[in-house]
Amino acid sequence: MADKITLEVFRYRPDDNSEPSFQKYMIPLQRDWVILDALNYIKDHIDGTLSYRWSCRMGICGSCGMMVNEKPVLTCAAFLENLIPGPVRIEPLENFPVVRDLVIDMRDFLEKLKRVKPWIIREQEDPAIEEYKQTPDQLADFKQYSMCINCMLCYSACPVYGLEPEFTGPAVIALAQRYNMDNRDHGNSARMDALSDESGMWQCTFIGDCSKVCPKKVDPAGAIQRYKVHGANTWWKNLLLPWAKDK
């Protein structure tokens, strides 16, 4: 058993006016370690200046996404053992501006998320009704899309987002679908407005990598294609039956 493995970690420290570079760290190879454990080992024992985001260590907070050997992954779920013999290249999530080392600026994503109103919108709220019931089938319609943890791996995998930063992107459209398909929601047409312009779903060319990298099997690519079908149907309906109202 080789007991050491090399990590090549992307470094960017804007305060030093330095150009981005890769720094090599030799670390002990523990079979039960994930990449995040290795980064924590570096931070604690080798180089305290390394910056990166993490929180829960169990694939639910969505904050430790990075590029590992050019693939976007949650570093808390990527085992070192599968990357033997190395070296393992660790970079910040692609397609985002890098603030420092492995930390990216996610404000663009949050801004876009807000635009699709990811909450239940009701035409009228009746305070007398204490709960809005939902059958298991109705839940099944959108449950998959509600699993998204906003880790943004799909944005890193999406070349369209890389080429056109205006593009709303996979997770946000999938989350719009999560509410559109909820039987308690009435916000479909408001979200359609936000997503049917040039920056919206029509930019997507169904490359499909977003669904491949999703750690929660949300399948944003499928969500976007379904939304396109819905958008096209709505468009023809508005053209041919302008008097009919949609949800």
Partner 1 sequence: MTNTTKSSGKSYKKEMPILWWTRRTSHIIFVMRELTSLGVAYFAIILLLLIGAISQGEESYYEFIKLMKSPILIWLSIISLLGLIFHSVTWFNLAPKAMVVKFGKYRIPGIVIMLSNYAGWIVISIIVGRFLLY
Partner 2 sequence: MKSHVEPFWWSLFGAGGAISALFLPVLSIIIGLAIPFGWIDIPSYEHIYGIFEPLSVRLVLLAIISLSLFHWAHRFRFTLYEGLQLHRFKYIIAILCYGSAITIVAFASYSLWNY
Residues contributing to the site for partner 1 (CB under 8 A): 12, 14-15, 20, 94, 96-99, 105, 107-108, 111, 137, 140, 159, 162-163, 165, 205-209, 212, 219, 221-222, 225-226, 228-229
**Least distance from partner 2 to the Cβ atom of residue 237, Å:** 10
**Only segment of 50-58, 131-139, 172-180, 230-238 that touches partner 2 (CB under 8 A):** 230-238
Write the secondary structure of 61-82 as one string of H (helix), E (strand) and C (coil). CCCCEEEECCEEEECCCCEHHH
159: Cβ contacts below 8 Å, ≥ 6 apart: 207, 209
218: Cβ contacts below 8 Å, ≥ 6 apart: 144, 145, 147, 148, 154, 171, 174, 211
Whose Cβ is closer to partner 1: residue 111's or residue 246's? 111
Per-position x/- string for 190-219, each x denoting binding to partner 2 as judged by CB under 8 A, each - no binding: --xx--xxx---x--x--------------
Neighbouring CB atoms inside 10 A of 200's CB total 26
Dihedral angle, C-alpha 193, 194, 198, 200, nearest 10 ° = -120
Whose Cβ is closer to partner 1: residue 59's or residue 208's? 208
Name the residue among 223, 146, 157, 230 with its Cα closest to residue 196.
Answer: 230
**Least distance from partner 1 to the Cβ atom of residue 22, Å:** 13
114: Cβ contacts below 8 Å, ≥ 6 apart: none
**Least distance from partner 2 to the Cβ atom of residue 192, Å:** 7
- Residues near partner 2 (CB under 8 A) are 159-160, 163-164, 189, 192-193, 196-198, 202, 205, 228-229, 231-232, 234-236, 238, 246
